[in-house]
Structure formats: C-alpha cells, structure tokens
A and B are shown apart, each in its own frame.
Chain A
C-alpha cells in the first residue's frame, strides 16, 4: 500500500492540485455571486484557501517514504556530478568494469566447471561410486577420461547394490565418424542402458536409450545423439531420427536426440553421441575391455533412493566390497593383489558431474580468481583515493552544510550515492566485459582435438557474485572516504578556507592507500614474472629430442579381414613408402608419442631380482632415434634382425643405466619384464644406449625408460602411430601421407598433428596462467602508478603556497624537485618492501606449480621491483616537474 502510494505520489500531487484549483473556482463563483469583481473574487478565494504549496507538500510528505525519496534525489545528484566530470567517471567506471569483469569471467568459468549442478532433475540425489584405498595399486589397462572401475566390478555393483534406485556406467570415447581418409571424431561415450533413465533426461526428438538397447553381445545397437551434434551434422532435421550413423566403422541407427540443456555428465567435454556400452566390444573387437578384470575404463553413478544419504550408501558399498573385489581379482603379482583385495567402494557426490577439465583447471582458476581479486582491490584503492580528493575539493561545501545543521548521515549518504552509481554502472559494464572475457577464456582452453563445451551463462550465482563484488568495492572506495570527509568538525573545515584541506589525517590515509597499492601490485608483478619464467623454462626445457619439424600421423584401420601379421607388415610397408616421399627426412613407428600425455610402464627384474621402481616403457621401429634427432649414445639401433620371433632386445636410456647398472655401460646386459604370474618372462638383451628423453609430459624429470622393437610389443593391431621428420613445413606433408595411406589400405583413417601443436597443447594450462597473470600484473602496476601520480599531484597542489614561499625565498628549483621525488621515494620504498615480503610468502605457497624456479628467485624479485620502480618514478616526474616550475608570484597570490 505504502509503496504503491510512493510510486504514485506524483499522480497524487497532480490530483490534489486539481482539487485545490476546483476549490478556488467554486469560491470565486460564490464571491462573484456575493458581488465581488471577478479578479478580486479570485484573489479572495486564494487567500481563503491559504498556502496551497504547503498543503500539497504536506500531502506529498504523507505519501512519500523519506529515505527512498532522498536516496533517489541523491542518485540523481550523483549522476549530475558524474556528468560534470566525465573524465573521472570514465576512469572510475572503466577500472571497475575491468576489475569486476575479470573476476566475473574467471568466476563464470569456475561456476560452469565446478559449482553448477548438472542440468538434470534433482542432481543432489546423484552419487558416484569410487574405489578408495591405495588406488595407485590399480594397474592394467586404462581408457576414457574417468577410469574408476572395471566392467566386472560394474556388473556386480549393478546387481547387488541396494542404495540406488537406478545406476549407470559410462566411459568416454572419441568415435571415428569417417570411413576413410582424414579422421573426423565424435566426442561421445559408451553408456549403460540406465544412463538416461537414471538422469531423468527426456528426448528432444525420437527416444533415448533404455536397458533393452544394452544387451551383452549386441550387434550395432541404436544410439542417441547430442543436440549440438544434431544441429551440426543434420541441421536439426527431425528426419535424422532413424538415419544411420557410422561410428568406428559400424552402422548404428539414431534412436533420438538429447535435449539442448543436456551435454552429458562430463562437464566441459560435451556429448556428441551416447552408444550402448555393449557396443564397446564392436569398436575394440578382441581387445574389448568388457570381460577384462584389469581394464579400468568405467565411471559409475547412481540416484540415491529416498532416505539414503551418501554416508549410508558408502557404508552399504563398503559392506559389499570384500566379496566383490575377491571375485574380480585380476591376474596381479602378489603385492598388487593384496592391495586390490583391500580396495573399498564409496559413494561421493555426483550432482556436479565429473570433469577432466575441472581437475586440470580448478586450482589455476582459483589462483586467477585471487589475482583478479587483488587487481580489483588495487582499483578500489585508487578510486578511494580519487573520491577522497573529490571530497576534499568539496570540504568547504560539506562544512557549510554541516554548520547549517545537515546530519552527518545525510551527507555521507549523498556522497555514497555517487559511489553506488559508479559501482552499479561499473558492474553493468563488467557484465559485458565478462561475457567477452569468459568466451575468450573458453576459446583459449580449446585445443584441436578437444573442443570445450561449457555453458558460461549468466545465472543467478554469477549475478550474486557481481553484485557482491560491486557492493564490496563500493564500500571500500565510497563509504570510507565519505566518512573521512565528514569527520572534520565544521569549524575546522571552514577555517581551512577555500584551499579545501581535510587535514593531515586524510592525507595520511591517501598515502597509506598508495603504499598498499604499490605493495599489492608488486606481489602480482612478481607472481606474473614467476609464472612467465616458469612457462618459458618449460617451453624451452631440453626434451631429449629435436622438437621442430615433426609430424605425428595416427592410422586407424577398421573392418579388415587382414591378420595381425599382415597388418603389421602393411604398416611397415607404409612406413617405407613415407620415408621415400618427397619432403620426408625420416620416419618411424612408435607406441606412445612423447609429450602426448600417454605413457606405459613396466617393472623389471635384473639378475632375477624384481625391482620396485616403475620403468617407463615404449616400443619403436628402427630409425626412431634418428627421426627424433636424438642419435644413440652407444650400441645399435633396432633393425630387421629384431623380428617378433627373434631373441628379445631393448634400447635403454642413460637414466635406466644409472638406476639399474650404476651408470656402467649396460650394452650386452640382460633383464626381464615382470609379467603376471604364469606368463613367460623371456630375457631381454640391451643392444643400445639412448639419450634421456621426456615421455608423458615436459614437466616430469628424466626418468628411466626402455624401448623395445614394435615387432616384439603387443600393440593393438587396429592402429599405428607414425612420427615423421619433415624438410618442409610439417602440416604440408599431410596430403602426401594421406594419399600413400589410401593406396596401401583404402579404409584407413588418418589423424595428423604436429609435435609443435602437441607440445603447445600440453602447456596450455601454464601458458594460460602465465598470460593472464601477466595481464593482471601489468594492469595492477598501471593502476598503482596512476594512484601514485594522483597522490603526488595532490601533494603538490596542497603545498603550493609552501613551495611558492620556498621559491620566493630563493630555494633552487632542483630542491623542490627533490622534495617531491623524496615523497615519491618514501611511498615507493615502503610499498616495495611490504610487497616483496608478501611476494616471497605467496611464492612459497605456489612453489609446487613453478617449474625449475625457486620461489625466492632473486633475479625475478629484483626485475619486478626495478621494473615497478621505473614505472612509478616515471609517474612521479610529472607532478615533481610541475611543482618545480611553479611561479612563486602566482602561488603566493593564492595564499
């Protein structure tokens, strides 16, 4: 009622005006009837009515809510002030927009990856089943982004659990869409029949999968496609349902389309196609993981029954565990078997889905959020400084109003209204900045073979975040200066006269703010330098091979009747042809391409003694080492002598020789690979010694590594990885290689990637952190320099008279210059010292993510401090020179 009246108060006022006018009209009529002249009659009527304006004001006051009304007036007044100072307004809104926008962009990504629940019904009821215990003892074969469980374990969980009303298993897989030529993949997953029913997702078209589609031994079961995939591949046509989709060379009928809001349970990856889990056997053929007890490739989720908590479900799964693991014990060596039997199952929250992206980026994102927060803090300090200066300029006006009886609260409110307006405008601009930034962030995380599907939508959490930031910022830069400005008694302020001084206290606050800004931005600069240098160290680290001019080609052959031997011979022949192709310097086949993220390891036994260390394991063809530009240190390369049936041989690295042979020449020595009980362990003779090389990633130190000939390895027959050293730009070779591959095997599908791109992708996270922290650090330094400039300029204005007197009394202009620069020096030095202490403390915490860099790296600290000092001094020179150039007569006239 009151609010309604409040918003209609203007209409009410209008109504009253009309009513009062009608009174005057009636009274005038009567006066005329009494015999008065019309003019006199009207004047008498108005007199009779009394003060019309006051009546209206009385009624208006009854209708209004005092606080709201004056707040609205304050905001309008603030808006007028900002319009009068467009320069200040633009600087303030821009710095807030950047500060809040950067925070929001990072937060949007964190929100999408970490915080937001899956867009399914009651996500809080979802729980994931995980193995707990010494999970490092899991060994065997791993695949998919979330290799938690094996199929035999899943079968037993499904059949025996009582905690979930519904459960499902899933395993991510990239399905090959193309039947020959260059590869094209769909980012999909094998899902068990209960996937969609458990998640309670309903189709956008057709139907989604059900239990009946997922029968063991199924032949080309129907699949469900994702909404985005439907749009991309079929233009969103309803006719897509019922069409055939070829995945990994097998034809599947499209049963239906997932809804737009649903992009799978792997946050950030998307789900192009969901294929019944039974079809895994079709794609992988004899190497199917469905019956393997040591093939870790499944994640399992369930919907808790009503009344079941995670704790209760965990207790239930824990009770099931012993028999479950006992029945599924893989053929493990004794100590691994012991650990396997001690495994337990547990239920963990599953409502936010699973995400490789999240695991990789969560902590860098929190770090970046912190950094962006500090930038915002510095920007707020700067704005507080500007607001203080403005309040100082208005101190006389404020004093007069206080003296006239305005309450302090009223004036503070008016001053804060301006800040609220700035914060609101800044936040609105920040929302736009964040949209652009978060898209750019997502784009920078996307790599050629892993597009990122995250919805960085502006939801209520983001809105709350922005509002909270803007509110806090406003409090910091608006309220404190307003309180400060009104703290002086009116008498003191009036006495200070037109020079507008708040007194030494206000200035001390401003100097303190500058010191804080310098300190904080130095911390950010040091952090930025550390991350940039750490990234450079990584990018330029010796990988153990020549990284340039290498092209990686992955061949896949589906649906072939050829035997494994024929396939192997085919790859060897293809390799030979590629070696003779124009532009190719050298080529080799390899099991795991270095810095590709994948690695294999084995345990070895030397002189019959099993060694506990895991040894990296790779298999390569002949001429691998010359292809990689890393010639052997001693011994011979693999060659035609090393066939499948020949005596086993290996080439080992220098680290291997150091660890297992005390650094002595290992050539001619033998070792065995520890195999599961019952498998043969033939002796392997070391025939060559290779340089150390990085294997899975650049970040790892050199580890012991053995190479065996591809002919003596149990490689999957369906595909092969070749690595080609090129004399021309590597990407230009792909057409040649594609043609050769088609000639050799018409149904082969080839994926290309340059080593350079592969290394770039492997350093994505480091590059992102380095680039963003450099931007934030630079921004912080810039803002702090502007702050220093502002305070010094203010000091010069404040001490105009003093400087004028000094100059008039014969002081050298250089003395004046020195005086201002001394002030700058004091602020800078204080800030730098505090900043360095903070930087070292922070770097210690971050030392784990630095590569070959100590947190107290003196060079980094010195460069950051010196660089910052340079910028700061440049910012101080302008006001100092201005002070030195003061005309004494002019300065004194204003005394």
Chain B
C-alpha cells in the first residue's frame, strides 16, 4: 500500500501531468481505465508508474470538465467496462496542454542547462 505521506508531494506535480497523459492516451481512441493505466505505463517504458487507483479521480475530473465522455461497453475479454473517449473540447485541451508542457520543459531545461 502506498504511504499517505508522499501523496501531496506527488499530487501537485502529477495532477496536471496525469490529466495530460490520459488525454493523450485517449487521442488514439476510446479505452477503459485498465487499458489507460497500462498504456501510460508501457509507453513511458515503465518509468511513469501510475498508481492505478489514482487514475479514476483524474478520469472523473476530466469528465466533469467535459473533456472526455464515458459509456459502458464490453472489454476485449467480455467484461463490462466503462469506456472513455475524447470530446472536441478535450482534443483542443490536449493541444493546448501539450504546447504548454513543451514550453515548460523548454523553460526548465534552459534554467537547468544554461547554454
């Protein structure tokens, strides 16, 4: 079980980032929570170990903002699962947030490695 104590430190950093990763994952097509968690893990070469549970509040938040929508469907192995898909607003948001992310990374890099 993860320790309660390290949650706030990660939370701040991860919150926006996790949202972005979820949006990016869904850009490829609808997926349910389980898939999203594994896709993020795999695509980051297992560097970003998402605590799978914490994905769900993020999904709820995104849905609440109208960036993703959900529906119940059947998974590959015939299980009922809640699927998420990107909405138009979500797609716009993904572009904006990706740009912002790039800007932040560039800025942080400039500070860390002055030419």
Q: Which residues of A contact B (CB under 8 A)?
A: 5, 15-16, 18-20, 22-23, 25-27, 29, 48-52, 54-55, 58-59, 62
Contacts and interface: CB of A to CB of B under 8 A. Distances in A.
19 contacts: A18-B80, A23-B32, A25-B79, A26-B32, A26-B34, A26-B77, A29-B77, A49-B52, A50-B52, A51-B1, A51-B53, A52-B53, A55-B53, A55-B56, A55-B57, A58-B57, A59-B57, A59-B60, A62-B64
B91 interface: no
A23 B60 contact: no
B81 A22 contact: yes
B100 interface: no
A262 to B, nearest CB: 54
B11 to A, nearest CB: 10
Given A29-B77, A50-B2, A51-B1, 14 more contacts: A22-B75, A22-B82, A23-B81, A26-B75, A29-B79, A49-B53, A50-B1, A50-B51, A50-B52, A50-B53, A51-B2, A55-B54, A59-B57, A62-B57
Interface in B28-75: 32-34, 51-54, 56-57, 60-61, 64, 75
A226 to B, nearest CB: 60
Contacts of A16: 56, 60
Interface of B: 1-2, 32-34, 51-54, 56-57, 60-61, 64, 75, 77, 79-82
Contacts of B33: 19, 22-23
A62 B61 contact: yes
A655 to B, nearest CB: 90
Nearest to A33: B77
A62 B63 CA distance: 12
Contacts of B60: 16, 59, 62
Contact of B32 (A5, A22, A54, A55): A22
B56 A19 contact: yes
Given A49-B53, A50-B52, A52-B53, A19 B82 contact: yes
Contacts of A22: 32-34, 75, 79-82
Nearest to A2: B64
Contacts of A5: 64
Contacts of A25: 79
Contacts of A55: 53-54, 56-57
Find the residue from B2, B32, B34, B82 having the highest chain A CB count within 10 A: B34
A42 to B, nearest CB: 13
Contact of A20 (B56, B61, B75, B80): B56
A54 B81 contact: no
Contacts of A52: 53
B92 to A, nearest CB: 20
B80 to A, nearest CB: 6
Contacts of A15: 82
Nearest to B76: A26
B1 A48 contact: no
B34 A23 contact: yes
A59 B53 CA distance: 11
A842 B109 CA distance: 84
B38 to A, nearest CB: 9
A26 B1 CA distance: 20
A59 B56 contact: yes
A50 B54 contact: yes
Contacts of B52: 23, 48-50
A62 to B, nearest CB: 6
Find the residue from A15, A16, A48, A50 having the highest chain B CB count within 10 A: A50
Contacts of A54: 53
A114 B75 CA distance: 72
B75 to A, nearest CB: 6
Nearest to B51: A50
Contacts of A59: 56-57, 60
A26 to B, nearest CB: 5
A50 B7 CA distance: 13
A112 to B, nearest CB: 51
Nearest to B1: A51
Contacts of B57: 55, 58-59, 62
Closest 9 CB pairs of A and B: A50-B53, A58-B57, A26-B34, A55-B53, A19-B82, A22-B81, A59-B60, A50-B51, A49-B53
B79 A26 contact: yes
A55 B56 CA distance: 7
A195 B38 CA distance: 84
A54 B3 CA distance: 12
B81 to A, nearest CB: 5
Contacts of B56: 16, 19-20, 55, 59
Contacts of A18: 80, 82
A50 B4 CA distance: 11
A472 B55 CA distance: 49
Find the residue from A26, A48, A62 having the highest chain B CB count within 10 A: A26
Contacts of B77: 26, 29
Contacts of A51: 1-2, 53
A59 B54 CA distance: 10
A16 B80 CA distance: 13
Nearest to A27: B34
B102 to A, nearest CB: 29
Contacts of B61: 62
A517 B81 CA distance: 67
A59 to B, nearest CB: 5
Contacts of B54: 50, 55
A51 B56 CA distance: 11
A84 to B, nearest CB: 36
A48 B53 CA distance: 8
Contacts of A26: 32, 34, 75, 77, 79, 81
B12 to A, nearest CB: 15
A395 B54 CA distance: 41
Nearest to B82: A19
B115 to A, nearest CB: 42
A20 B32 CA distance: 11
Contacts of A48: 52
A51 B51 CA distance: 10
Contacts of B64: 5, 62
A753 to B, nearest CB: 77
A836 to B, nearest CB: 66
A49 B51 CA distance: 7
B69 to A, nearest CB: 14
A5 B1 CA distance: 31
B40 to A, nearest CB: 14
Contacts of B34: 22-23, 26-27
B94 to A, nearest CB: 22
A5 B77 CA distance: 32
A557 to B, nearest CB: 87
A782 B2 CA distance: 64
A686 B31 CA distance: 117
Nearest to A56: B56
Nearest to A50: B53
A25 B54 CA distance: 18
A20 B56 CA distance: 8
A23 B33 CA distance: 7
A27 B79 CA distance: 11
A55 B61 CA distance: 12
A209 to B, nearest CB: 64
Nearest to A29: B77
A20 B79 CA distance: 12
A27 B32 CA distance: 12
Nearest to B78: A29
A58 B54 CA distance: 9
Nearest to A26: B34
A18 B82 CA distance: 9
A19 B57 CA distance: 12
B33 to A, nearest CB: 5
Nearest to B75: A26
A55 B55 CA distance: 9
A25 B75 CA distance: 11
A123 to B, nearest CB: 50
B63 to A, nearest CB: 10
